[in-house]
């Protein structure tokens, strides 16, 4: 008689079609939510809700690549709206679902566990996962900028562009950043301009004070591309690579790791500054704590 494979039972509970929440998964494995989450996180290095979300996106990509509709793939993946699915897919893969036909379906995983058709798991033993600290820093930055811009949509045009601290500068070479509009625009623009340097494209158009709706659209367009570049750099071990930025006058060379660190450093300051100014304008929002962000990502209560 062979013994029970408890880990396999837990993984089966993650993938069960009827188990949409952490509570559902735990019930399916005859465990408490706390024990279920602790054991999975310990044994495979990934929280169950995060694993299910990733594997479901991989299955959706496989469906679309095989000719299935984006709408059907979104529904099967557990998304209640096509917009929400498209946003999650673009954030994960670096391109919209409509471009999934020729792409790889596997996403970066901390354990090599991936979707395998029709609804099985494949364990890729030689996979090198992205450093979790780097991954969390980059994804938290993107999500927090999105959250701040979304909250800023509640502001009046006057509060959006009002000067908060006259003459305030974040970086001396970028000029004054005195309003919520300018600070958040710079948080988005930083990724746009560095992507242009890395990808060798033209200098991006500059709108120093767009309305929040337009700025959110810019953020959504650049976020997935930025995450894809960071993940590709990590995958191929290219952190020490240098680029020659012809957008500078005269051209300068930059190490890729320093570019990402630069964006995260100034981005963290801008996000917290915007948060303080938004609160001063009467907007109710959280502290932007990455601990609570990760808990929410993993389906846990903050």
Residue 230 has pLDDT above 70, yes or no: yes
The answer to whether the beta carbons of residues 272 and 288 sit under 8 Å apart is: yes
| Range with lowest mean pLDDT among 58-62, 120-124, 268-272 | 120-124
pTM above 0.85, yes or no: no
Percent with pLDDT over 90 in the chain:
36
Provide the pLDDT for residue 119: 62
Q: How confident is the model at residue 269 (pLDDT cuts 50, 70, 90)?
A: very high
Q: Across the chain, what does the average pLDDT equal? A: 85
N- to C-terminal Cα separation, the chain? 43
- Give the C-alpha distances (Å, rounded to integers) separating 17 from 25, 77, 129: 10, 9, 27
Give me the mean pLDDT over the 254-281 stretch.
96
Let me know if 37 is exposed, middle or buried by CB neighbors in 10 A (0-12, 13-18, 19+): buried
Give me the mean pLDDT over the 108-122 stretch.
75
Domains and CATH numbers, the chain: 6-123 (1.10.10.60), 132-297 (1.20.120.450)
Q: How far is residue 287's CA from residue 268's CA, in Å, rounded to a whole number?
A: 12
């Amino acid at each position: 008689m062979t013994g029970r494979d408890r880990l396999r039972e837990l993984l089966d509970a993650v993938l069960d079609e009827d188990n949409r929440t952490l509570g559902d998964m735990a019930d399916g494995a005859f465990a408490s939510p706390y024990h279920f989450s602790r054991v999975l996180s310990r044994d495979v290095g990934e929280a169950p809700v995060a694993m299910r979300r990733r594997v479901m996106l991989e299955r959706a990509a496989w469906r679309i690549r095989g000719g299935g509709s984006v709408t059907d793939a979104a529904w099967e993946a557990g998304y209640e709206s096509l917009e929400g699915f498209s946003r999650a897919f673009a954030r994960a893969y670096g391109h919209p679902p409509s471009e999934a036909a020729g792409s790889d379906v596997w996403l970066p995983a901390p354990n090599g566990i991936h979707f395998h058709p029709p609804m099985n798991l494949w364990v890729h033993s030689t996979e090198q996962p992205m450093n979790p600290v780097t991954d969390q820093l980059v994804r938290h930055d993107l999500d927090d900028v999105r959250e701040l811009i979304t909250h800023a949509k509640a502001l009046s045009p006057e509060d959006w562009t009002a000067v908060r601290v006259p003459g305030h500068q974040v970086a001396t070479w970028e000029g004054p950043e005195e309003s919520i509009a300018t600070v958040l625009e710079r948080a988005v623009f930083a990724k746009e301009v560095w992507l242009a340097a890395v990808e060798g494209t033209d200098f991006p158009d500059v709108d120093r004070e767009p309305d929040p709706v337009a700025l959110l659209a810019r953020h959504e367009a650049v976020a997935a591309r930025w995450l894809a570049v960071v993940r590709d750099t990590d995958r191929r071990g290219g952190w020490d690579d240098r680029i020659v930025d012809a957008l500078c006058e005269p051209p300068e060379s930059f190490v890729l790791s320093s570019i990402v660190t630069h964006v995260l450093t100034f981005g963290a300051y801008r996000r917290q500054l915007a948060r303080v100014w938004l609160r001063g304008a009467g907007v109710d929002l959280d502290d932007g704590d990455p601990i609570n962000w990760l808990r929410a990502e993993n389906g846990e209560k903050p």
